Amino acid sequence: MYDILLNIIEEIGYFALFLVLCLGLIGLPIPNEAVVMTGGALAESGVLLPVPAFIMTCLGICSAMTFGYSIGRFAGSKLSNWFSSKKNISKFVAKSEQLSERYGGYAISLSLCLPFLRHVTPYVMGLNRMNFKRFALFAYPSAFVWTLIYFIIGTFVGDQVQALSDNIYKYGIWIVFALAAVVISFLVYRYVKSRQQKNQLERPM
């Protein structure tokens, strides 16, 4: 799986990050977490430039979410009966409905941390006729933050992306919270340390 991703990136470059994340909607067997962290790891190693790599991964996530919303909004009524007949899919649709009823638009943000639900929830929001502006208000900032977290994690883990991605897929949101806490703590530590060094340099001799 990881080798497939690297081969695609080698063939078509930055656009691969966008393409693979979009195709994840139709079942390409590469978890989104692995794709985004790979972008971060390759940026850290110098294979890709950080800004274009991050932009393409973020746009890929946003495009997949928009596509799911559009299907639900414009073709959801035609697909709902077919989804209901598929036990596995209907189970995730029901969970997304529960999230939507309980958290409203914030369900979009929460679903990003949950494999497969991140694909189903935009569809459910479209099916429920959520206004696109409201959808965008929750979806795109959440996608930016989610992508940023995993991209930064990728710069730290390097060639351990695949193993970490498997654990995230298995343990879901708890791993996300733990990793986010570690990253935030590290960034705060770096900020405080840099401020202390700056203050020391500014002190009169």
pTM value is 0.73
pLDDT at residue 11, rounded to an integer: 83
SS3 labels along the chain: CHHHHHHHHHHHCCHHHHHHHHHHHHCCCCCHHHHHHHHHHHHHHCCCCHHHHHHHHHHHHHHHHHHHHHHHHHHHHHHHHHHHHCHHHHHHHHHHHHHHHHHCCHHHHHHCCCCCHHHHHHHHHHHCCCCHHHHHHHHHHHHHHHHHHHHHHHHHHHHHHHHHHHHHHHHCHHHHHHHHHHHHHHHHHHHHHHHHHHHHHHCCC
Whether the Cβ atoms of residue 189 and residue 77 lie closer than 8 Å to each other: no
| pLDDT tens readout for residues 80-110 | 666 665 666 677 778 888 888 888 888 888 8
Indicate the residue type of 16. Answer: A
| Neighbour tally for 163: CB within 10 Å | 11
Tokens of 136: 């965008």
Report, as ranges of residue numbers, the positions in the chain whose pLDDT lies below 70. Answer: 1-2, 24-29, 76-89, 158, 161-183, 186, 198-205
pLDDT at residue 56, rounded to an integer: 93
